[in-house]
Amino acid sequence: MEIDARPLDGFAALGLDERLIAALTSLGYEEPTAIQREAIPPLLAGKDVLGQAATGTGKTAAFALPLLQRLGEPAATERAVRGLILVPTRELAMQVAEAVHKYSRGSALRVVPIYGGQSIVQQLRALERGVDVVVATPGRALDHLRRGSLHLDAVQTLILDEADEMLDMGFAEELEAILEHTPAERQTALFSATVPKRILEIAKRHLRAPVQVKIQPEKLAAGERARVREIAYIVQRRNKPAALARVLDMEGPTSTIVFCRTRIEVDELTETLGSRGYSAEALHGGLSQEQRDRVLRRFRDGASEILVATDVAARGLDIEHVSHVVNFDVPSSPDAYLHRIGRTGRAGREGVAVTLAEARESRLLRNIEQFTKHKITIESVPTAHDLRARRLELMHTALEETLTGGNLDAYRRVIESLAVDHDVLDIAAAAAKLADEARDGSADDEADIPKDVAFVQPLAERPRFTKAHPDAAKRMASADMTRIFIDLGRSAGIRPADLVGAITNEAKVDARQIGAIDIADGFSLVEVSNASVDSIIAALRGTKLRGKPVTARRDRKVKGVRP
């Protein structure tokens, strides 16, 4: 039986050994990326490397594969740390350690991540047993050095990953202290998305005649769409939350990271978005590691659609499916802008970067354009008319899908009886109007909407057809949903995100099986698929929301639920 040799040829040509190539093949790798092609050969040759490449370009494999090959198998005697990888955040430490472990499959090498927020006792035990490669955040690595539990005198290769972010987070002194504990003859590789003066100074002090590798952003052919569509809206500060909601309704993102400057702003915006019916979660330095892990897990799993985060908390995140990045404020520097938008449009996917700017910040947008050489298109905040047009467009798609799906006999009899006295087109238009008003909550009246404020309706009144759930249109167009009554509401601090999280986590139900959510002061109503209603009720009865036990049952047509 012949085996496709393309993946073997691609990585074998770089000088990697058969064991690593076998591991890459089993992981589904096919061809090396640009940073891997340029960085792996000099690293295998033992040279120092200064590498510049954007997030998501394959940097981890670019430095991990040569590291593993140069280390070989561990010595038969006592193990010592021979490879050290420093990263800015605990999230990235876990991800890099996992990747290195996968690449080393079939070897006896031991890889251990050490970072803040994890039990230091567990880390001490791992280090005492003997470790070949340590992946660490600077703060925790320095802590272990001071305790005498981490010894770096045998380090052969040192990797600084996301070096610019480590400096931005204030780890300059920690890095210098750690580097002083490593042998002078070590091999050093420094990887960074940007290479400002501070990075060059570190490279000059600690790298020996480094091979410089710079991966330029891929140039697109004339007329080809950019992978990241960059747009900005000029909005007064007090109107930003409402403007953001309108933009989200128009864009219909599958997953969004919204960047804010402070923890307070993150918490306030998360609460505001939740009150408007979005499933939003906060991520900032005030969260415990357990809370952070839970938030990120829910975002990755699709249980929450929006992650509201500070720059520091989002450092090192590696989430592939982010469709939209939103700058709630214009970033303080072009570098920060690049870091933020680098989290969308990854791995060849298209992404959208949205910036909400005040009029006085227009100059900052121009500075970013000059730095990035990318055009940021200024657009107008969508109006209520734009949203209605979008809703009707989605309704058109939903109707087409429903027509294609069939099973319309019961409804056809209704139409046939009405067709005796009315035109079929008028009947169809009336049905569409009823469906539209049922979702919109009212007739089309903008008289109460201030012209200078972006107004957005709560979830129960928002369009239910979004890109996030392609099958939502067909789902909501049919009668396969049941409302569940939950005896906790606004007065108990309940938000839509709480309800979605409880259902998806406790009942193990996909978020796409959840429909409209209504939250009143003393209770909540949640639409769920008929197929899951019983299991959801059973699961909710054994859980708590906001620390309070839940009573859940099928709704008995309780009135007056609209908040």
Q: What is the pLDDT of residue 170?
A: 84
Q: What is the pLDDT of residue 424?
A: 77
Q: Which two tokens stand for residue 304?
A: 């929450």
SS3 (DSSP) at 378: strand
Q: Across-strand partners of 514?
A: 528
SS3 (DSSP) at 186: coil
Q: Which domains does the chain have, with CATH numbers?
A: 6-214 (3.40.50.300), 228-382 (3.40.50.300), 383-465 (no CATH), 479-563 (3.30.70.330)
Q: Which two tokens stand for residue 463?
A: 């369009």
Please say whether the beta carbons of 213 and 181 come within 8 A.
Answer: no
Q: What is the pLDDT of residue 473?
A: 36
For residues 446-473, one letter each, b for 16 or more C-beta atoms within 10 angstroms of the residue's C-beta and e for the rest, the string is: eeeeeeeebbbbbbbbbbbbbebbeebb
DSSP state, 100?
A: H
Q: Across-strand partners of 249?
A: none
Q: Across-strand partners of 315?
A: none
Q: What is the pLDDT of residue 558?
A: 40
Please say whether the beta carbons of 58 and 33 come within 8 A.
Answer: yes
Q: What is the pLDDT of residue 113?
A: 94
Please say whether the beta carbons of 284 and 309 come within 8 A.
Answer: yes
pTM as predicted:
0.51
Q: What is the pLDDT of residue 223?
A: 43
Q: What is the pLDDT of residue 146?
A: 93
Measured in whole angstroms, the distance separating CA 406 from the mean position of its chain's CA atoms is 37
Q: Across-strand partners of 260?
A: 310
Q: What is the pLDDT of residue 541?
A: 80
Total Cβ atoms within 10 A of residue 38? 20
Q: What is the pLDDT of residue 43?
A: 96
Amino acid at 82: R
Series of mean pLDDT values for 10-residue runs along the chain (563 residues): 41 90 82 90 96 80 95 75 92 88 88 88 90 94 94 95 86 92 94 87 93 73 61 91 89 89 88 85 84 86 87 68 89 79 74 90 83 86 78 73 73 78 79 64 36 35 35 41 85 79 79 77 83 87 80 66 37
For residues 56-68, one letter each, b for 16 or more C-beta atoms within 10 angstroms of the residue's C-beta and e for the rest, the string is: bbbbbbbbbbbbb
The Cα-based distances of 65 to 101, 157, 388 in angstroms read 11, 12, 52
Q: What is the pLDDT of residue 436?
A: 63
Counting every residue, how long is the chain? 563
The Cα-based distances of 164 to 39, 160, 207, 420, 455 in angstroms read 18, 10, 16, 73, 39
The Cα-based distances of 355 to 203, 307, 358, 409 in angstroms read 33, 16, 10, 48
